[in-house]
Amino acid sequence: MAAEKLKGEGNTMFTKGCWAEAAAKYGEYITLLFRDEESKEAQSKLVIGYSNRAETWLKLKKYVQAHDDCERALEYDPTHLKSWGRKARALEGLFLHLDAARTYRKLLQGFTLSASEKSWMKEALMISETKDRQSRWGIIEQDMDEKWEKADPGPELLASAPNLEEYVGPIRIGRTQKMGRGLFVTRNVGEGDLLLVSNIWTSNRFTMESETMPLDNALYTLQQSVEEIVNEAKENLQDLTHLQRLIQLDTLGGPYPDDLLLRDAPPMRYFKPVNSLERGGWRVTDEDRKHPALTNTFDRPFITKVILEKQLYHHGPKLLEISELYVLPSLMNHSCVPNVSTITLNNGKRSRIFRATRSIRAGEELFRAYHNILCPVDERRILHGKQNCECQRCTLELKLLREVSLLNYVAGECGDLAIENENENMWNCSTDVKQNVRTRSMTLLTAINDLFVHVSNLANLDDVKQDWIRASLTRFGRILLDPAIRMLPEVTFEQIQERDKLLVHVILAALTVDRASEVALSMCSGIATEEAPNIFNPVTDSMEEHLEAQVLLDCARRIVELSYGSGLKSQTIFNIVKSYAGRLKDLPF
């Protein structure tokens, strides 16, 4: 019989390890049997067809397809053990650890199993349960603490983080007045509340020295990189559900009607993680296909277009950069006074966690910072690209152009310092130069504070708005924390105290702008470690001697909680704070 022959060929291909060919043969087998779907005999064969094909999808790491085939097999025969086992493995592949654990538990409790089946399922259950427990940042402390004892801070440390389940908190997509679509909260949320956990769709970074590279080479490099990112994007689509697949391309790529308002805001249902949808809810229906925002195809040219249009941008004269693409987070707009913090876990896949950094009322829009916001408004405009930022802070600074120019003039007087400091290693400079840099930065910070007292339009601003402007000159504070400047031999204790008072202003201003600022965290950590090397011992008894350091440490603790989540053990918080002290020079500026 033709069908049996196809199954036999599928099995042969499978044994040879030709997974794609095997999947194709099983596909033909299924199609053939489908003609006779009503018959009991065909149905029991379809179970085998779908289940075998699911196994080939698992080998190909196409977990969505594997899961779908298991579901179909189980619709015909809800007692088919192999399909259940394969479904559990597909769920693991999709990082749905809780669902995988539930499935293994069901198998262990409700099925008669052989000794070897029992053994691997018990093991798999334990792994799924552990991964589920770890699946939110903050619950992996044990792991972190151990790793952090020896690891350097930064990417290496985050690499120990587990893969995360997608999570969508109290969020909806809505229209904004000027920026097309945006994300809004659906209920009141508090500081530090988890909003979103999102896994990356694709990423790639490359730099191109256009000044030194001949144009042909540059274009070739660019072409290669686009090729790479398109391949990765296509590959990663396999990990996402059908609905997310549809929606993310719509989200990222259009087709855009000229008038943004004509563009439909897709319902949140499309973005929900698969495990929160009702059974079968992740399949694309005809209705979905008719939805005005879901009309894209996913061929190569289309993905290429998405990537080129959305993520390729000029960044200064010398580099072109393609960065990371996420689904729902790509709808969150920018503000220079954000209310959302972002932490990226470099866990082999890259996941991003978004938390509220202040109380946000139901219906308010969520904003994150796309780029450095601790710099003057004209620099922010360059970083922001074509569309100007219209946040309250930019609007204020543009209204106060005269005063801001005054500040910029003063900053300009010391500006060479910043350039010198960014481009050169201060360690190599003579002590005289370092001393000069130090003095000028101190003078500048004092002058800024004076301007806020004496220039009437600035003095009339409330404290928050003063901080918005002060935060634009954060870099001069950071110069003073450069290790080379900090360790000048002639600096007296009194001078350090004077410097710290100025720096506390700078840090508090940065925190007014962004309550989870990494730059502020690194500055807090820098001063606190320098002033009180023992302060990182959580049971220290000499806090009074280091009052200022203690204040900064409290700030640092708050920033850590807003970014990394509450409920961290104090040792973990201290480890994070300490790790930032060494990163003063590394943070984007």
Q: Name the residues that contact Zn ion, by CB under 5 A.
A: 336, 389, 391, 394
CB of 389 to Zn ion, least distance (A): 3
CB of 335 to Zn ion, least distance (A): 6
Token pair 């144009």 is found at 215
CB of 381 to Zn ion, least distance (A): 8
Nearest residue to 5 (alpha-carbon basis) of 19, 25, 21: 25
CA angle at residue 175 from 271 to 237, to 5 degrees?
A: 25
Cβ–Cβ < 8 Å for 177, 344: no
- Kindly state the tokens that stand for 139: 């619950």
The side-by-side arrangement of strands in the sheet containing 194-199 is 167-168, 194-199, 351-356, 340-345
CB of 390 to Zn ion, least distance (A): 7
CB of 373 to Zn ion, least distance (A): 7
The nearer residue to Zn ion, 203 or 372, going by C-beta atoms, is 372
The nearer residue to Zn ion, 272 or 393, going by C-beta atoms, is 393
Q: Virtual CA dihedral for 534, 537, 539, 542, nearest 10 degrees?
A: 10
At a CB cut-off of 8 Å and minimum separation 6, what does 482 contact? 421, 426, 584, 585
Q: CB count, 10 Å around CB of 204? A: 20
CB of 393 to Zn ion, least distance (A): 5
Q: Could you say which DSSP state residue 195 is in?
A: E
CB of 415 to Zn ion, least distance (A): 22
Give the helix/strand (H/E) hosting 7.
Answer: helix 2-16
Cα distance between residue 14 and residue 150, in whole Å: 45
- Kindly state the tokens that stand for 226: 């686009």
CB of 392 to Zn ion, least distance (A): 8
CB of 331 to Zn ion, least distance (A): 18
The 3 state secondary structure assigned to 451-511 is HHHHCHHHHCCCHHHHHHHHHHHHHHHHHCCCHHHHCCCCCCHHHHHHHHHHHHHHHHHHH
The nearer residue to Zn ion, 392 or 431, going by C-beta atoms, is 392
**Single-letter code of the amino acid located at 318:** K
DSSP E strand stretches across 56-157 = none
The residues facing 344 across adjacent strands are 352
Cβ–Cβ < 8 Å for 391, 335: yes
The nearer residue to Zn ion, 370 or 536, going by C-beta atoms, is 370
The nearer residue to Zn ion, 67 or 334, going by C-beta atoms, is 334
The nearer residue to Zn ion, 152 or 378, going by C-beta atoms, is 378
CB of 148 to Zn ion, least distance (A): 35
The nearer residue to Zn ion, 157 or 389, going by C-beta atoms, is 389
Cα distance between residue 71 and residue 46, in whole Å: 12
The nearer residue to Zn ion, 150 or 386, going by C-beta atoms, is 386
**Single-letter code of the amino acid located at 431:** T
> In Å, how far from its chain's centre is CA 158?
12
The nearer residue to Zn ion, 320 or 377, going by C-beta atoms, is 377
- Kindly state the tokens that stand for 19: 């997974």
Cβ–Cβ < 8 Å for 334, 366: no
CB of 394 to Zn ion, least distance (A): 3
Give the largest Cα separation in the chain, rounded.
95
The nearer residue to Zn ion, 288 or 379, going by C-beta atoms, is 379
**How is the chain split among helix, strand and coil, in percent rounded to 5?**
60, 10, 30
Q: Virtual CA dihedral for 36, 39, 45, 51, nearest 10 degrees?
A: 90
The nearer residue to Zn ion, 272 or 475, going by C-beta atoms, is 475
The nearer residue to Zn ion, 178 or 289, going by C-beta atoms, is 178
- Kindly state the tokens that stand for 414: 């010391």
The nearer residue to Zn ion, 380 or 499, going by C-beta atoms, is 380
CB of 178 to Zn ion, least distance (A): 12
Cα distance between residue 446 and residue 410, in whole Å: 11
CB of 588 to Zn ion, least distance (A): 17
The residues facing 345 across adjacent strands are 351
